């Protein structure tokens, strides 16, 4: 029993030493584990998340708020949806403050802002997202929808051209459907084809073929 106790003690010390080394080296899978329920200050420092990791956690929560807000809208609960969009916007802005290169978070800021009616902020956020990742199809598609909501059909069509250029099949299909629905609802937005030019006439008033034959 005494020998066994000594062996257990040696194993325990080896484990403690190994874990301490891992925390200082910054490696090991333990970096992805959640912190203890009541960690000490040293443990908190060793397990501190990077700004990007913290931003991703906030983004995930904000994304959930977007999903809940969309459900509220579908159920006709406009006020509840607005509250959730505001929470999502706050989360998206916190995420971009932690990591200004987080293009998905900028896209979320644009989406939430648009749903809250702040189109200036929405367009600015989409621009920042696409400045980081120009071919990010969701932001392009959402920007196209925003232009339609503002009555700018030509700009929406420009976004559709971009989506087709980037072979973003699903997003292109979605935006095309929105454009078609907009044109059906607003036929005046599409100018009529110009009428055929009248045939030229000679001095006698008869039509001239213009071919010299």
**pLDDT digit string, tens, across residues 42-51:** 434 445 689 9
- Contacts by 77-81, CB closer than 8 A, 24 or more apart: 81/115
Of 16-30, 50-64, 182-196, give the lowest mean pLDDT range: 16-30
Higher pLDDT, 153 or 17: 153
Taking the CA of residue 188 as centre, how many other CA atoms within 13 Å lie in the half-sphere pointing to its CB? 1
For residues 82-94, average pLDDT: 98
pLDDT for the residue numbered 191:
64
- Contacts by 41-49, CB closer than 8 A, 24 or more apart: 47/23
Does the pLDDT value for residue 212 go beyond 90?
A: no
Of 33-37, 188-192, 199-203, give the lowest mean pLDDT range: 33-37
Confidence class for position 93, pLDDT limits 50, 70, 90: very high
Distance, in Å, from the CA atom of 19 to the CA atom of 4, rounded to the nearest integer, reads 23
pLDDT for the residue numbered 188:
84
pLDDT for the residue numbered 15:
39
Does the pLDDT value for residue 114 go beyond 90?
A: yes
Distance, in Å, from the CA atom of 62 to the CA atom of 68, rounded to the nearest integer, reads 10
Residue 194 burial (C-beta neighbours within 10 Å; 0-12, 13-18, 19+): exposed
Distance, in Å, from the CA atom of 99 to the CA atom of 32, rounded to the nearest integer, reads 19
Token pair in block for residue 173 = 């299909």
Higher pLDDT, 11 or 114: 114
Which alpha helices (DSSP H) does the chain contain, by range? 2-25, 41-46, 51-74, 78-98, 103-115, 119-132, 137-149, 153-165, 169-185
Confidence class for position 21, pLDDT limits 50, 70, 90: very low
Does the pLDDT value for residue 2 go beyond 60?
A: no
pTM, two decimals, is 0.68
Does the pLDDT value for residue 9 go beyond 60?
A: no
Distance, in Å, from the CA atom of 161 to the CA atom of 91, rounded to the nearest integer, reads 31
50-133 homologous superfamily: Tetratricopeptide repeat domain (1.25.40.10)
Of 1-15, 63-77, 138-152, give the lowest mean pLDDT range: 1-15
Confidence class for position 25, pLDDT limits 50, 70, 90: very low
Distance, in Å, from the CA atom of 105 to the CA atom of 126, rounded to the nearest integer, reads 10
Distance, in Å, from the CA atom of 80 to the CA atom of 179, rounded to the nearest integer, reads 29
């Amino acid at each position: 029993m005494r020998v066994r106790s000594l062996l257990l003690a040696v194993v325990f010390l080896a484990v403690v030493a190994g874990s301490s080394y891992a925390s200082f080296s910054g490696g090991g899978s333990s970096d992805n584990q959640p912190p203890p329920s009541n960690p000490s200050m040293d443990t908190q420092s060793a397990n501190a998340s990077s700004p990007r990791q913290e931003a991703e956690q906030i983004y995930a929560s904000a994304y959930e708020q977007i999903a809940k807000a969309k459900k509220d809208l579908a159920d006709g609960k406009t006020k509840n949806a607005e509250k959730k969009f505001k929470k999502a916007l706050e989360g998206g802005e916190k995420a971009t403050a932690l990591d200004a290169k987080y293009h998905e978070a900028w896209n979320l800021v644009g989406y939430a802002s648009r749903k809250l009616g702040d189109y200036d902020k929405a367009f600015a956020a989409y621009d920042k997202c696409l400045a980081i990742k120009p071919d990010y199809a969701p932001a392009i598609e959402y920007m196209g929808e925003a232009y339609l909501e503002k009555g700018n059909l030509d700009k929406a069509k420009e976004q559709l051209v971009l989506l087709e250029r980037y072979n973003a099949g699903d997003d292109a299909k979605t935006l095309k459907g929105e454009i078609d629905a907009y044109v059906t609802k607003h036929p005046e937005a599409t100018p009529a084809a110009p009428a055929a030019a009248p045939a030229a006439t000679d001095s006698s008033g008869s039509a001239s073929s213009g071919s010299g034959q």
